[in-house]
Amino acid sequence: MLIAIPDVLTAEQVTKARQILDSAEWVDGKGTAGYQSAKTKDNMQLPEDSAAARELGEMILAALSKNPLFLAAALPLQIFPPLFNRYSGGQSFGTHVDNAIRQHRSLPVRIRTDLSATLFFAGPEEYDGGELCIEDTYGVQRVKLPPGHMVLYPSTSLHHVTPVTRGARVCSFFWLQSMIRDDSRRSLLFDLDLAIQRLGRDLPNNATAEQTGVQLTGVYHNLLRQWAEM
């Protein structure tokens, strides 16, 4: 399941983040790449333990904790502290798959990567290239979103970032371990959750719809109870 989540951050939060990112010190991004990924990775990143990364990471995690679409789609158990990258001057990241396990360099955080996320800070008009290309069952999906918007996709997906030939592509990226390991089960629960919400929204004060909603909610939670890993 690949899903775009709009307005994770407000315009004010994006502006504040850009000010911090524009004045931050960047380092070679190969430092967080695995053996195979390092061969094709060419970008800059904030150090994982930098004050800027911590401050902006806390902002992102606080916003995600209040985002109903993200919570419904991801069913997060644990989120890796957000990282930040910058592509410019022809930099790119070749086709790769994310490591199955991520260990933070300075924090006691280790997770299984079920889902990957990219949150955009630079607008599509600010740079040429830089599309995040994700391979899924429907072919290659090319993603380039407005500032403050995020894409969520299975970490099992092959993906790459095309060369940035003008301007700079600035993003946060991170991974999460879901309560539901299997992507197909997670997608079913997400679709069921959306259907329950739509039923209550489109048929308010309807006794039959309310009863059906209660029954479907029971199905949702019983499936979650059966499949969840805590």
36: nearest Cα among 102, 85, 94: 94
Tell me the CATH number at 148.
Answer: 2.60.120.620
Domain count, the chain: 2
Cα angle for residues 81, 84, 88 (degrees, 5° grid): 165
Task: Quote the percentage of the chain above a pLDDT of 90.
Answer: 84
Do 174 and 191 have their domain in common?
no
Q: Which residue has the tokens 């607008």?
A: 123
Cα torsion for 46, 49, 50, 52, to the nearest 10°?
A: 80
The residue segments making up the domain with residue 221 are 183-227
Task: Please say whether the dihedral angle defined by the alpha carbons of residues 203, 204, 207 and 213, taken in this order, is positive or negative.
Answer: positive
For residue 96, pLDDT beyond 70: yes
How much is the pLDDT for 33?
66
Do 43 and 65 have their domain in common?
yes
215 exposure class (CB count in 10 Å sphere: 0-12, 13-18, 19+):
exposed
pLDDT tens, 187-222? 999 999 999 999 888 888 888 888 999 999 999 999
How much is the pLDDT for 56?
98
Helix and strand totals (H; E) in the chain = 5, 17
pLDDT band at 107 (very low <50, low <70, confident <90, very high): confident
The predicted model gives 68-83 an average pLDDT of 97
Do 111 and 155 have their domain in common?
yes
Do 27 and 134 have their domain in common?
yes
The predicted model gives 68-87 an average pLDDT of 97
Beta strands 27-28; 132-136: pairing state = unpaired
pLDDT tens, 25-68? 999 988 766 666 677 899 999 999 899 999 999 999 999 999 99
Average pLDDT, the chain: 94
pLDDT tens, 159-189? 999 999 999 999 999 999 999 999 999 999 9
How much is the pLDDT for 177?
98
Do 168 and 197 have their domain in common?
no
Do 162 and 191 have their domain in common?
no
**DSSP string for residues in 162-205:** --EEESEEEEEEEEEEES---HHHHHHHHHHHHHHHHHHHHSTT
How much is the pLDDT for 35?
63
Do 69 and 143 have their domain in common?
yes
Do 64 and 109 have their domain in common?
yes
Task: Quote the percentage of the chain above a pLDDT of 70.
Answer: 97
40: nearest Cα among 160, 137, 214: 160
Do 132 and 145 have their domain in common?
yes
- Residue length, the chain? 230
